[in-house]
Structure 1
């Protein structure tokens, strides 16, 4: 029997693409980066790193048989493509999406994130923290846009920055732990003490 090829873990790629794009957009939502110049950076970043790389990670996770990663990375990769296209169309005057519709959509992504958050209870504390803060980010910015409450959007920007840092930490931990061949950077065990402690199902 031929020896099975060992596949790389795509999670760090997806997480880091998510982290950087989320950080830049969150800085804009928090009012720490100028909106006009920042959006010009976020649109291509959302399509390239935040969107495409997460979809690539999701496809690779599918090949590894990881249902959670497949769902998560493809969902958020598609989210960034949606966001980038919506902003691009708006800037070019092709479409004029209402903030109300955008807010409702973001709340919808918050619901999806909440479902995935339940799944992280069988993974590890690092991913649980990422998805918990991400859900809060979606709800804050979504409701803020939906109802026109700017302070919620600002608060969502700050929570989004925390989400980005947690995602970057998780990605760095998975890369460096693999590089050094041992768990030097902790991810925490399963919050429910289940048998699975990482997002990776197989090597």
Structure 2
């Protein structure tokens, strides 16, 4: 993600070069380099986050969120993990680490709901009352990870700073909701998750909609860079 929009470092757009032949009739050669994987990662993250967050606020009375499992594995997990791997190829360490990490988050989250994984179903009998605290610890870990990403994004773009800021609040509220077994706090986390998802959609759209393919450009808000004083 980081500048996730900036992750191309000038190498993701299609380029044109004159063919290495003499004479005015030389035809241009279309050279294609690695495309920008950031929109894929951001849209995958946003879509899965939005779906789960809507269920967290009980939209349309849905209280069983198991339908998000497929989305978490294929979209939030698989597609985002692929985006992270391609960010490594693009030389973007921040984007590669963030996309890969949250891809792994969604896959690990989905495993809790899969009976064959024996994770969620293991909290029965004498340990049934430990499930909320266990999920709270799981969310606490991702609250810490997200805070680190937030600090690392402070000189990227306003869109990314806002994304990690509100995502961290989302994890914090969901974590507290689990530890306290409080439905209202959990719903508040879902509300912040919805906001986070739309910020991620905007960040992904600003990376996808460029001068190359659209007349409409979405500003991502570059953060001030550190000034280097002359020696």
Q: Give the TM-score range, shorter chain.
A: 0.7 to 0.9
1:11·1:69 contact (CA, 8 Å) conserved in 2? Answer: yes
Which stretches of structure 1, 4 residues or more, deviate above 6 A after TM superposition?
A: 90-93
CA distance in 2, matches of 1:161, 1:136: 12
What is the CA-CA distance between 1:121 and the residue it aligns to?
1.0
Show the 5 A alignment for 1:161-176: 161-176=194-209
Q: Identify if the C-alpha distance between structure 1 residues 149 and 174 changes in structure 2 by more than 3 Å, giving closer, same or farther.
A: same
Task: Report the RMSD for the aligned CA atoms in angstroms.
Answer: 2.3
Given the alignment, which residue of 40, 44, 59 partners 1:13? 40
1:89·1:95 contact (CA, 8 Å) conserved in 2? Answer: no
Q: Identify if the C-alpha distance between structure 1 residues 185 and 149 changes in structure 2 by more than 3 Å, giving closer, same or farther.
A: same
More contact order relative to length (CA 8 Å, sep ≥ 6):
1
Structure 2 residue 100 is matched with structure 1 residue 68: no
Structure 2 residue 174 is matched with structure 1 residue 147: no
Larger gyration radius, structure 1 or structure 2: 2
Structure 1 portions without partners, runs of 5+: 196-203
Structure (1/2) with the larger helix percentage: 1
Aligned residue for 1:52? 78
- Normalised TM-score (structure 1): 0.86
SS in 2 for 1:177: coil
Q: Identify if the C-alpha distance between structure 1 residues 21 and 179 changes in structure 2 by more than 3 Å, giving closer, same or farther.
A: farther
Question: Deviation per CA, 1:133-178, whole angstroms, max 9, x where unpaired?
Answer: 1000001001110221222111000000000000011111111126
What is the CA-CA distance between 1:65 and the residue it aligns to?
1.4
Question: Deviation per CA, 1:88-125, whole angstroms, max 9, x where unpaired?
Answer: 23898753371211111101101110100011112100
Aligned residue for 1:157? 190
CA distance in 2, matches of 1:90, 1:146: 26
- Normalised TM-score (structure 2): 0.76
CA distance in 2, matches of 1:95, 1:64: 41
